[in-house]
Structure 1
Amino acid sequence: MAPMDAPRLLPWLSPDGKPCFLAGDGAGYVSRLADEMEAAQLDFAAELIEEACRVLDARTWTPGEIHLLAVELTSTLTNVHRVAESRGARLPLPDDDAPDADEAPVDRGINGDGRGLRLPADAFG
């Protein structure tokens, strides 16, 4: 199945917390609604990043403020991750970079070396 033929992961969950998918050509009302919601989620993430930087730079936060910030950042990161998965699944695969059918994809992590994200120790105060 080509990526453009696959069902679209929508930027919201069902009432019981399961992912929602949409089949179609991407030109209908629900697709446009999903596009608008994704844009709003990404805009909110950008605003929250700015707020998090202000809070952390001030170094006058309380444990409650840090906890609330962590909760909001986790929720927003979850939304942004879902948007990235949805958009990535709809990208066409280049013919020359497509893995062979018998070849397992390699997950190299965010840094490309398999180690994941590495932050400096002073990032935590």
Structure 2
Amino acid sequence: MKLTTQTLATLALAAALATPALAAESHADHDHSTPQGMAQHMQMMQGASAASGSHQAEGLVRKIDLAAGKITLRHAATADMAAMTMVYHVRDKALLDGIKAGDTVQFSAEKIDGADTVTAIARKP
């Protein structure tokens, strides 16, 4: 029994240590600057959302405040939120490149330092 417990503990530790390396490797193989790369990124984000408290939604861009790093989105209902219009912080202002008011977007957001923050965004065709 002791050997089994030690083996399981060793396997659990190895899995925990390997997870960030595997995530970095799988994330490095696509380009966020292309629609296909962004779509792949959004699929990966959907898989991680339950664990991280993030959510994904489709939304309509109402306003962008690039200087403040904020975007106003009218989004569809998510698993944990009703449809509404919200002002989000943006993790990186570069995410807003090519996005303008009136665009329909797919986005991921999570709470960062207490603020709803867009972590990924892509225009929908």
Q: Which of the two has greater helix per residue?
A: 1
Q: Which has the higher contact order (CA 8 A, sep 6+)?
A: 1
Q: Which of the two has greater strand per residue?
A: 2
TM-score, normalised to structure 2, is: 0.30
TM-score, normalised to structure 1, is: 0.30
